[in-house]
């Protein structure tokens, strides 16, 4: 059907990208930062904790640490320390997800606008998006500070669709976390998910496709010409 995907969804007229774990392999950096943060307090970061916070905004993550380990600090204090650790660890290097730059090239060729919708804090986002000038290629960036309710609440993706000026059903979200997929779906967006090492056991239900590269044909098939 003209203007529709094979499963009947509208072809995307705009694309919203998650950042960590989707465009870059920074989930490994977050793991090291969280492990160092908790290690200073005599605790270990675990896969169970990671599954509970992946894709979620800073307040949720650090309040969980405080509750789980009975920590005396407030969540913003932990956030600042974690950001310091994370930015320092970025200097060890992190890679770009295969296919990202080819997908960005294709979106630009088709004149399809694009944005970033991330649960990370602005300070971290600015540093990560410096890599290869990738941040400069997006029309706008939404971070944890731009919304009242973080993922899996739909606010960030609903805000993105409004900024694009398109119906949510005509926007595509690209995600790597169940929380992010739920956020996009609740806002009315179609969601494609990236399978990677950090989310091998994640729930991919709700995704219209699951890919291992961002230039996969399944993603291109969701875009308008």
Rounded to whole angstroms, the Cα distance separating 140 from 123 reads: 15
Active site residues: 18, 20
Burial class (CB in 10 A: 0-12, 13-18, 19+), 201: exposed
Assign 174 to helix, strand or coil.
strand
Rounded to whole angstroms, the Cα distance separating 154 from 151 reads: 7
Q: Quick one: residue 99, left, alpha or beta (phi over 0 = left, psi -120 to 50 = alpha)?
A: left
How many residues in total does the chain contain? 225
Q: Which are the contacts of 200, defined by CB distance < 8 A and separation ≥ 6?
A: none
């Amino acid at each position: 059907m003209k203007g529709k995907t094979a499963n009947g969804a509208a072809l995307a007229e705009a694309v919203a990208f998650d950042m960590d774990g989707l465009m870059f392999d920074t989930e490994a950096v977050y793991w090291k930062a969280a492990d160092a943060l908790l290690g200073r307090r005599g605790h270990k970061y675990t896969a169970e904790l990671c599954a509970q916070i992946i894709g979620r905004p800073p307040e949720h993550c650090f309040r969980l640490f405080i509750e789980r380990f009975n920590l005396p600090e407030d969540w913003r204090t932990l956030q600042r320390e974690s950001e310091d650790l994370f930015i320092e660890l970025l200097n060890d290097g992190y890679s770009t997800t295969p296919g990202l730059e080819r997908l960005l090239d294709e979106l630009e060729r088709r004149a399809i606008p694009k944005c970033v919708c991330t649960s990370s804090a602005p300070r971290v986002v600015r540093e990560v998006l410096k890599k290869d000038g990738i941040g400069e290629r997006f029309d706008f960036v939404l971070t944890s500070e731009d919304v009242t309710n973080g993922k899996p609440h739909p606010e960030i993706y609903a805000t993105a669709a409004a900024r694009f000026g398109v119906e949510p059903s005509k926007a595509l979200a690209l995600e790597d976390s169940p929380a992010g997929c739920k956020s996009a779906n609740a806002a009315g967006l179609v969601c494609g998910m990236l399978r990677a090492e950090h989310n091998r056991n994640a729930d991919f239900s709700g995704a219209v496709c699951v890919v291992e590269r961002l230039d996969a044909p399944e993603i291109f098939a969701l875009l308008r010409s």
